[in-house]
Structure 1
Amino acid sequence: MKREEVPQDKSNLESAHFRELCYAVDENGEYVTEHSTGWNPKTIALDNAIQEINERVATARQRVLSGERSPLEYYMELHKMDVGILASYIGLWQWRVKRHFKPSVFKRLSAKILQKYADIFEVTVEELKNIEGKGNCA
C-alpha cells in the first residue's frame, strides 16, 4: 500500500494515544514506516473479541455465584487463559486443574495450592475464594 493509503480510521485505541506502525511504499517505491490510528475492519474485530471475552467472564462469574463452578474458572476467563495455560502456570496436569473447577474439590484444596493459584492471578487467597464483590471485568 502507498504511504498516503495507510488507514487513519477512528478506533478505540486512538484515545489511548496508540498508533500502529505499518509498512508502506513511498513515492520512490521504497518501503517506509508510517503510523496508523486505526482501520475499521480491525477495530470491529477487536471490539467483537473484547465483547466475547467480557461475555465469557460474565458467564463464568454467574456459574461461580450459582455454585456450579469454583472461582478458578472466573479468574481463568478474566485473565484470558485456558485450562492448558493455567495448568502449565501452576505445574499440574490439566485433568487436576479441571477437577479444581468443582466447588466441592476447590473447598478441599490445600493452602499451598490455593496460594499458587492466588499468585498466578495476582490476588489474595481470600479474594480467590470470594468473587462476590468482583465486577465482570478488570
Structure 2
Amino acid sequence: MKKSEVPQDKSNLESANFRELCYAVDENGEYTTAHTTGWDPKTIALDNAIEDINQRVQDAKDRVKNNQTSPIEYYMEFHKMDLPILASYVGIWQWRVKRHFKPKVFQKLSNKTLQKYADVFEITIEQLKNLKHAN
C-alpha cells in the first residue's frame, strides 16, 4: 500500500498514544516505514481474540469453582498458555500435566510439584491452591 493510504483508524493503540510501525511504498516506489494508529479489520480481529481468551479464562475459573478441574488449568488459561507450553515450562510430560487438572490428583501433588507450577505462574503455592486470590 502507498504511504498516503496507511490507515489511521481508531484503536486501542490511539487511546494509549501508541502507533504501530508498518511498511508502505513511498512516492518513489521504494519501501519505507509508516506509522498507523490502527486499522479497523485488525482491531476487530484482536478484540474478538481477546474476548475469546477472556471467555476461556472465565470458563476455567467456573470449572475450578465447580470442582471439575484444578486451579492449574485456570492459571494456564489466565497466562495464555496451552498444554504443550505449560508442560515444557514446568518440565513435566503433557499427559501428567493434564492429569494434574483433575481435582483429586491436584490435591495429592507434592509441594515440590506445586512449586514448579507456582514458579511458572509467578504466584505462591497458597495462591495456586486457593483460587479466591486469582485476579
The bucket for the TM-score relative to the shorter chain is over 0.9
TM-superposed CA distance for 1:133, in Å, is: 3.9
Using the TM superposition, give the Cα deviation of residue 16 of structure 1 relative to its aligned residue in structure 2, in angstroms.
2.1
Instruction: Verify: 1:92 aligned to 2:109, yes or no.
Output: no
Task: Output aligned runs, 1:1-138, within 5 Å.
Answer: 1-135=1-135
> Which amino acid in 2 is paired with 1:112?
K
**CA distance in structure 2 between the aligned counterparts of 1:17 and 1:41, rounded to whole angstroms:** 20
Distance of 1:2 and 1:16 partners within structure 2: 26
Tell me the number of residue pairs that the alignment of Structure 1 and Structure 2 aligns. Answer: 135
Higher relative contact order (CA closer than 8 Å, sequence separation 6+): 1
Q: Deviations over 1:20-60 (max 9, x none)?
A: 11111111111111001100000000000000000000000
- Unaligned runs of at least 5 residues, structure 1: none
Q: Structure 2: 5+ residue runs without aligned partners?
A: none
C-alpha RMSD of matched pairs (Å): 0.9
Which SS does the other structure have where 2:134 is aligned? coil
- Return the TM-score normalized by structure 1: 0.95
Letter in 2 for 1:97: V
Q: Where has structure 1 moved over 4 Å in runs of 4 or more?
A: none
Instruction: Report the TM-score when normalising by structure 2.
Output: 0.97
Give the letter aligned to residue 120 of structure 1.
V
Quote the sequence identity (%). 71
Structure 1, 95-104 or 22-31: larger mean CA deviation: 22-31
Instruction: Name the SS for the 1:132 alignment partner.
Output: helix
Contact 2:64/2:71 (<8 A) preserved: yes
Note if contact 1:65-1:132 (Cα within 8 Å) is conserved in structure 2.
no
- CA offsets 1:70-101 (integer angstroms, 9 cap, x no match): 00000000001111111111111111001100
